[in-house]
Amino acid sequence: MEEIAPQKKRGMSVIGIVLITVLVTIVGTVWLLNSSLFAKSFTPTELDSEEKVELRQKLAAIGLQDLKVGLPAEENMDPEPYTENPDRREIALNEREVNALLDKNSEMGERLVLDFSDNLMSAKLLMPLDADLPFVGGKTLRASTGVAISVRDGTPSVVLKGVSVWGVPIPNAWLGGLKNVDLVNEFGDEGFWKSFSEGIEDVEVREGELKLKLRE
């Protein structure tokens, strides 16, 4: 029986190593796509009993007691004269409270999560992709964005800092040139941004918290 030459043996070993490396790479890529890039959902924020009671008190103080916080709603239908309480124009909500409200009052709790840091509101969003799309059909796209929020000369400022898809920053040209543009200043002459700016007296975003003060 003909003996396999040492060089041929080494060649077969190299081919085997290459095949194993390719296989491991393919398996790793599939795992990465399914566990990271194509994540199915976020874990919704769930407040404990004390946090729910505190949040309901905050909402009731500004007349938003109808929002769901995970506790039975408390209704007061006793007749009373109309009054305006200036304190109800101010509200401070922490990051957990806002994310819990998103979960309880919309269908976005498993798809959208917000983060508050100094003068910056960031969001992560999961979007299901159409099943007919090639390669990624039926998967879930992961996107993130950030907006800088502050008040300048008595007018709210909302500046888009960027948008990323699967961690890749989207070119400014694809965003219509809106990156690092003050959206209120750019579009505040009419419509939503005009109403928004005229209704906000003060807004502050800091680590873990959002504060709003509405105008009269």
Give residue 29's pLDDT.
Answer: 44
In the predicted model, what is the mean pLDDT of the chain? 76
What is the per-residue pLDDT for 120? Answer: 92
If 0-12 CB within 10 Å is exposed, 13-18 middle and 19+ buried, where does residue 176 land?
A: exposed
Contact 140, 127 (CB under 8 A): yes
User: For residue 158, which phi and psi values (nearest 5 degrees)?
Assistant: -125, 110
Three-state secondary structure along the chain? CCCCCHHHHHHHHHHHHHHHHHHHHHHHHHHHHHHHHCCCCCCCCCCCHHHHHHHHHHHHHCCCCCCCCCCCCCCCCCCCCCCCCHHHHEEEEEHHHHHHHHHHHCCCCCCEEEEEECCEEEEEEEEECCCCCCCCCCCEEEEEEEEEEEEECCEEEEEEEEEEECCEECCHHHHCCCCCCEHHHHHCCCHHHHHHHHHEEEEEEECCEEEEEECC
**pLDDT tens profile 58-93:** 777 766 666 777 766 555 556 778 677 776 778 888
pTM assigned to the model: 0.68
Model confidence over 18-65: pLDDT tens digits?
A: 555 555 544 444 444 444 445 566 777 788 888 888 888 877 776 666
Q: pLDDT tens digits, residue range 161-177?
A: 988 887 888 899 988 89
Q: Which of 60, 55, 51 is nearest to 88 (CA)?
A: 60
Cα 77 from Cα 65, distance rounded (Å): 13
